[in-house]
Amino acid sequence: MIKVAPIACPGRCSRGELGEPIWCRACQRRIRAALTEIDQLCTWLESQADGFAGKIGGDGRGGKRGGGSATSPATDLVDTVYSELILIETEWRQLQSLGGNARHGPGRTAYDRALAISFLQSHLAGIMNHTKMIKPLTRILSYQVVLQHFAHSEPSRKDRPGRCTRCHNVNVLFFDAADDMIHCRYCTVVITEAEYDLEVVEKPDAAVAAETRRALGLND
The string of pLDDT tens digits covering residues 64-90 is 444 444 567 888 889 899 999 999 999
> Mean pLDDT over all residues of the chain?
78
* Residues in CB range of 207: below 8 A, 6 or more apart: 163, 168
Q: What is the DSSP annotation of 117-181?
A: HHHHHHTHHHHHT-GGGHHHHHHHHHHHHHHHHHHT-PPPEEEE-SB-TTT--BS-EEEETTTTE
CB contact at 8 A, 200 and 175: no
- Facing residues of 173 across strands? 160, 184
Q: Which of 6-20, 90-104, 175-189 has the lowest mean pLDDT?
A: 6-20
Higher-scoring residue by pLDDT: 60, 118: 118
Residue 63: pLDDT above 50?
no
Phi/psi at 88 (nearest 5 deg)? -65, -40
> Is 90 exceeded by the pLDDT of residue 9?
no
For residue 133, report the phi and psi dihedrals to the nearest 5 degrees: -105, 10
pLDDT at 8: 85
Cα(105)–Cα(8) distance, integer angstroms? 38
Separation in Å, CA 99 to CA 19, 82, 93, 103: 30, 21, 7, 12
Q: Nearest CA to 65 among 110, 118, 116?
A: 110
Question: What band does 170 get if pLDDT is binned at 50, 70 and 90?
Answer: confident
Predicted local confidence at residue 154, as pLDDT: 59
Of 8-17, 18-27, 137-146, 202-211, the one with minimum mean pLDDT is 202-211
